[in-house]
Structure 1
């Protein structure tokens, strides 16, 4: 990653670009990010909240290198007001998102068993059962229907709640909290109230399962705390982001289905394939969709690092853009085109390095089930409104349709 100092030229740092949180409809790629990608592999940005500016890496190779390089750490971010998208920023102890090694592995170990390929295979029949009940209700009530309301929201909530061990009577309350936490509307006060509610509930749940031998996440965490492997505060901070994870499936699938419903050739391609052959198309859609607004969480350079002729000084905040990496033309020819035959397809939609998404296998399983089940059970599925009348989420960190009205 470090370049030969003898090859470095004294370069003036790139200008600091303001990156507003654009409210983009549909699957439009962020035009500000597109401009930054054209300006160079390493730029500097200022986001709507926080302080100062941060470096931004957009090339696929640089994103992979930085996310694997221990000279860039997350823990230091918790002690800084780094420029950021979120208006509120109060990371909790125990959060995997801000843990560096060796703490990251220590925290991840108690829950790792709940998210393995084997665990997902065991969960799959139950997940299919939950999904079949939802789709049967849609078919019973008849068209039109809002897929977000009837399937894309309740299904991931139900599945994540199964994995986490959320009792049925608490599921809607927990979902209301997660929805507010990931929204940028309502301001810091509303988000803080939601966090207090959810994390208070998680604390009570972890304490109540200290002696449980069940395999749900809250039981695994309660037992790990009782054994002294992690602290209670760490267990609570670890559980929160896992609980929120279902939101990403809702909105990613919403974008994928919108693309299929508005591009007949894409829908025809998917329907022509056996479910076992749809994986490459799902990977291409994961690469293509603009999953989020701007960027996620920063890292801090722990020492000076030279990259592309620029010196990233110790203490400088650094962002990587997985969205930009997924459109790198050196890795993905014609990156702005959906190519269902793209091979290889080394997209970074679930992240990279030690912070690769804990629930990636779970998210992929849910996506496969949703797409396969809807295509099988609703062969005439189509939008119930013109594409430009689909309402999209606003002022949010995770993009997707607010509603997806369909008929059949």
Structure 2
């Protein structure tokens, strides 16, 4: 762990500087490009990533924290290969200090994010029943009830309103808390912890304090539900620990990322609504053809730049050659960019254009392979409910400020608007 730098807050859009790229297929590795975490306003695509994509399907990067450099795969097929090939290991990363975006790195035992097969399936089994399509169908009426209550308050108070503060933050947090089994009295502090964990502000101390608070609370909660009959996630984990199927540390490692998942829904939906509110043709399409909103949401999921830089690395366990002939040596760290893969023109013609009629649309917004998002069905459910309910119940919904006047989150791993001031 190193803390020698802090995440940059610049909004400059210069491409990564260095020498002319040298193709790896010629026997010489491409140059290492520094990739700062730019504080980008709006839904602009990261210019550093865009430049890296033009240099080649596989490049090399250095992020603000950690050590050394890592390969970056940006082409759709290479991203699918790396994320679904057992020769690339997540578990091996826990033994290293690879270059990374997060200022603090201490993987917890049991986290699905760092598990390889067959351990991954063992850890995922206790949670499986909570996130199935059937479970989400049963959850839908309760989620709609929660959302209706929030929107009722917005309608009652009248315009203007900040959709982030009034709906986009409290709705996912409440739904995830109910799925997880967080008592209402604890939800505010749990949300405060998860919000700090995804932030790059505050450095190591703030991140560590938030993680210690959240994981300590999870440990107590899982331990208290060892004999509970509930079907919430913490009860399922408590039962699994009591039966010896997983250890307590593993239960905590499983629960943490799921608890944080509501933050992504807030920010992703914020971007989708911002695009809808600032593109009249998109708003008209959503309003005029409500039965066909599903494919439009898929296109927005493909298009939005939902995160800063990249997610979690993998380590090559043996020499592997990717599609363009680049040799990844055993022991090399490798990142993939789902954002870049979703803009690959070989798969998505006119990738920078939002095309509501795009078909097929095999986007990778929820990942791919073993580490496909556990809560993808839940996230999609919440997204559909949010968009449908807000558009249907707030006729004439529009921003109260120009698009450039919307304030965006700063120094965070997940991008999104800080506020969405609207009237209707």
Aligned to 2:15: none
Structure 1 CA distance for aligned equivalents of residues 390 and 325 of structure 2: 50
Structure 1 CA distance for aligned equivalents of residues 321 and 76 of structure 2: 17
Structure 1 CA distance for aligned equivalents of residues 76 and 328 of structure 2: 18
Equivalent residues in 2 for 1:216-365, closer than 5 Å? 216-274=232-290, 276-307=291-322, 308-365=324-381
Structure 2 CA distance for aligned equivalents of residues 137 and 21 of structure 1: 37
> Could you list the per-position Cα deviations for residues 262-296 of structure 1 after superposition, in whole angstroms to 9, with x for gaps in the alignment?
0000000001113x421100000000000000000
Measured after TM superposition, the shift of residue 310 of structure 1 is 2.4
CA RMSD of aligned residues (A): 0.9
| Long gaps (5+) in structure 2 | 1-23
Aligned to 2:64: 48
Aligned to 1:149: 165
> Are 1:115 and 2:123 counterparts?
no
Structure 2 CA distance for aligned equivalents of residues 29 and 80 of structure 1: 30
Rate the CA distance shift 1:15–1:168 in 2: closer, same or farther, 3 A. Answer: same
* Preserved contact between residue 10 and residue 309 of structure 1 (Cα < 8 Å): no
Q: How many residues align?
A: 400
TM-score by length of 2: 0.93
Structure 2 CA distance for aligned equivalents of residues 352 and 213 of structure 1: 33
> Are 1:61 and 2:77 counterparts?
yes
Structure 1 CA distance for aligned equivalents of residues 76 and 325 of structure 2: 18
Measured after TM superposition, the shift of residue 341 of structure 1 is 0.2
Structure 2 CA distance for aligned equivalents of residues 123 and 214 of structure 1: 15
> Could you list the per-position Cα deviations for residues 319-366 of structure 1 after superposition, in whole angstroms to 9, with x for gaps in the alignment?
000000000000000000000000000000000000000000000000
Structure 1 CA distance for aligned equivalents of residues 346 and 142 of structure 2: 41
Measured after TM superposition, the shift of residue 9 of structure 1 is 5.3
SS at match of 1:55: strand
Structure 2 CA distance for aligned equivalents of residues 310 and 336 of structure 1: 26
Aligned to 2:21: none
Measured after TM superposition, the shift of residue 11 of structure 1 is 2.6
| Long gaps (5+) in structure 1 | 1-7
* Preserved contact between residue 57 and residue 320 of structure 1 (Cα < 8 Å): yes
* Preserved contact between residue 156 and residue 249 of structure 1 (Cα < 8 Å): yes
Measured after TM superposition, the shift of residue 309 of structure 1 is 2.5
Measured after TM superposition, the shift of residue 311 of structure 1 is 1.7
Aligned to 1:5: none
Aligned to 2:149: 133
Aligned to 1:4: none
* Preserved contact between residue 116 and residue 361 of structure 1 (Cα < 8 Å): yes
Equivalent residues in 2 for 1:47-196, closer than 5 Å? 47-196=63-212
Rate the CA distance shift 1:142–1:305 in 2: closer, same or farther, 3 A. Answer: same
Equivalent residues in 2 for 1:195-206, closer than 5 Å? 195-206=211-222
Structure 2 CA distance for aligned equivalents of residues 31 and 298 of structure 1: 21
SS at match of 2:315: strand
* Preserved contact between residue 11 and residue 309 of structure 1 (Cα < 8 Å): no
SS at match of 1:183: coil
> Are 1:34 and 2:62 counterparts?
no
Structure 2 CA distance for aligned equivalents of residues 277 and 358 of structure 1: 26
> Could you list the per-position Cα deviations for residues 238-265 of structure 1 after superposition, in whole angstroms to 9, with x for gaps in the alignment?
1000000000000000000000000000
Rate the CA distance shift 1:9–1:252 in 2: closer, same or farther, 3 A. Answer: closer
SS at match of 1:278: helix
> Could you list the per-position Cα deviations for residues 106-131 of structure 1 after superposition, in whole angstroms to 9, with x for gaps in the alignment?
00000010000000000000000000
> Could you list the per-position Cα deviations for residues 194-223 of structure 1 after superposition, in whole angstroms to 9, with x for gaps in the alignment?
111110000000000000111000000000
* Preserved contact between residue 57 and residue 319 of structure 1 (Cα < 8 Å): yes
Structure 2 CA distance for aligned equivalents of residues 306 and 124 of structure 1: 44
Aligned to 2:9: none
SS at match of 1:245: helix
